[in-house]
Structure 1
């Protein structure tokens, strides 16, 4: 997981990306993706990057959209 955090942190730090959307399923095993992106954001030092988590149900219905801080 740390390798993914480091790679994403470098992408966030070295590029002018305005927004990232994490799309994950509602099952517990998909929560790790959110943690990876959150850790990468902290490591990158970016405070201006907008990050949203979109949770999708098993049938494809969007359950929620929330900002990640």
Structure 2
């Protein structure tokens, strides 16, 4: 039963790390996309900004889950 509890925490930790890494990758992708389309006149920068915001949101959700994980261990 104790191993079951630790397994749930490790799943939460794994999910949090996946969210943090995905958020970082999406944010960097949004910045790169914005840099590559900086001279376009068809609104690609709006899409790049939305990708960046989505990445930031996922990153923050991952950080909140990490905080919950570490508070549960105490």
For the criterion TM > 0.5, the same-fold answer is: no
Q: Quick check: which has more Rg, 1 or 2?
A: 2
TM-score (norm 2): 0.29
Q: Which has the higher contact order (CA 8 A, sep 6+)?
A: 2
Question: By percentage of residues, which structure has more helix?
Answer: 2
